[in-house]
Structure 1
Amino acid sequence: MKKNILLIGGSYGIGATIADKLRKNNSVYIASRSNESIPEGVTHLSFDALKDDISSLDLPETIHSFIYCPGSINLKPFKMMSEDTFQEDLNVNFLSLVKSVKGILPNLKNADQASLLFFSTVAVNTGMPFHTSVAAAKGAIEGFAKALAAEYAPNFRVNVIAPSLTDTSLASKLLNNDSKKEKMAERHPLKRVGTVDDIASTATFLINDDASWITGQVIGVDGGLSTINLN
């Protein structure tokens, strides 16, 4: 049976790759501001997670899987971070996620067991300089996901992927020359930065029934950075 899968964001990068992997056997919907790289066969719905009401979208009555992709990378010393930056990161990463989940709650409840997937960062569990704002916002996602998983079990499965640095447009300033790429790769035990396929493959597994006994987990897809110390 084809499942209805909704991605918020996902018109490019990791989200688009996830949609491409899922579209062959499912009905995939991407709700995003742009449609620049929407895979063939995927339904695009114009939507701004910061401003729009998701319940107004023309969605199926039943949504089997929900993936929230929007995120931010604001890396600065704490003394240079304004309160507005913290609020903006919280809005993009967490508060708009909460609003979206609440808006499609009736659709998710119609599924036998809905699967929800969110994104955090390795910097939540591994303290890193210059990550105060994004780590705070993503940390809120991890706490929310575990509490949501507990509250709605067994009807919902809720999991989180916590990547390390991944080669996407969002991280382009950190990887815009060979020297930076080599330096970032050396920080990881597996000696490379992540790719969109690394993250999308894990996301596809967690969304599918192959992971039907996995919930309330934060999965590190980080080249070993969060758990292995080679020094």
Structure 2
Amino acid sequence: MPVENKIILVVGASSGIGLTIAQALIKAGAEVITASRHVSDELKQLGTKHIPLDVLQLDNELQEQLPNKLHGLIYCPGSIRLKPFERLPLEDFRKDLELNVLGAIQVIKAAVPLLKKAEGASVVLFSTVAAKLGMPFHTSIATAKAAVEGLTVSLAAEYASANIRFNALSLSLTDTPLAGQLLNTPEKSETAAKRHPLGRIGKTQDAAEAALYLLSDASSWMTGQILHLDGGMSSVKLL
């Protein structure tokens, strides 16, 4: 993928999908800047420039810690709160919206002036299959991620003339630390795999490969798209 020498900010790179994306970008020759609240041992090993960042308490100093231009931005922070609707307090909805939507908005606001300077940039956000496919107990996260999809297409329209592309990856269950409680036994993992037409759950590498495509010049004519990376969950029904 042609991302060599591109300067790309990966927010939420301490583990899971964000860490795998950062690793893949470095391997592909990109200059990666990572940002996260925690710094894992794996992240330390990457040797990237790192910005301590809590997206829930973002101030105006982020832009000052970034280079004078960016070719790409990946926003990976996410949450999984699976409860019956009647047991979901309003605070859970608020937390999901703050992390998934408002955090992304604040980071994008800081990055846009720098993305404009690249004269061709890409932003990748993350959604969930549950935003379109009704799934029990997903009310809070589906609501937040549906807002992410609306944000994606709206910004794609607004910044097309500036040659900044906005796309999102809509994922089904992926093997990450965040999903640990859903996959903490062989039986749970097997059951989750069987729900997907392709017979397995997602890997972080699946998301990383798709993200690299969206960040690269190979996708330069793609914007405002929600790509469903879900093992066929959202579109295929097996007989």
Task: State how 1:43-82 maps to structure 2 within 5 Å.
Answer: 43-53=49-59, 55-56=61-62, 57-82=64-89
Partner residue in 1 for 2:33: 29
Q: How many residues end up aligned between the 2 structures? A: 231
Match of residue 138 from structure 1: 145
> Moved runs in structure 1, 4+ residues, more than 3 A?
54-57
RMSD: 1.2
Structure 2 partner of 1:148: 155
Question: What is the aligned counterpart of 2:210 among 202, 208, 220?
Answer: 202
Q: Which has the higher contact order (CA 8 A, sep 6+)?
A: 2
Query: Match for 1:67: what amino acid?
Result: I
Quick check: 1:55–1:104 contact (8 Å CA) kept in 2? Answer: no
Q: Which residue does the alignment assign to 2:94?
A: 87
1-structure distance, mates of 2:47, 2:222: 29
The residue number in structure 1 matching 2:113 is: 106
Alpha-carbon distance in 2 for matches of 1:176, 1:41 = 31
Name the CA shift for 1:54/1:197 in 2 (closer, same or farther; >3 Å): farther
Q: What TM-score, normalized to structure 1? A: 0.97
Share of identical aligned residues, percent?
Answer: 47
What letter matches 2:74 in structure 1? Answer: I
1:109-124 correspondence runs (5 A): 109-124=116-131
How far the C-alpha of 1:54 sits from its partner, in A, is 5.5
Deviations 1:4-37 (A, max 9, x none): 1001111111111111111141110011111212
Q: Structure 1: which 5+ residue stretches go unaligned?
A: none
Q: Which of 177, 189, 193 does residue 185 from structure 1 map onto?
A: 193
TM-score by length of 2: 0.94
SS of 2:196's partner is coil
- The worse-fitting range, judged by mean Cα deviation, of 37-46 and 105-114 is 37-46
Cα separation, partners in 2 of 1:54 and 1:6, compared to 1, 3 Å: farther
Structure 2: gaps spanning 5 or more residues: none
Instruction: Specify which structure has the higher proportion of helix.
Output: 2
Q: Which residue of 2 aligns with 1:14?
A: 17
Q: How does 1:157-168 map to 2 (within 5 A)?
A: 157-168=165-176
Correspondent of 1:228 among 210, 223, 236: 236
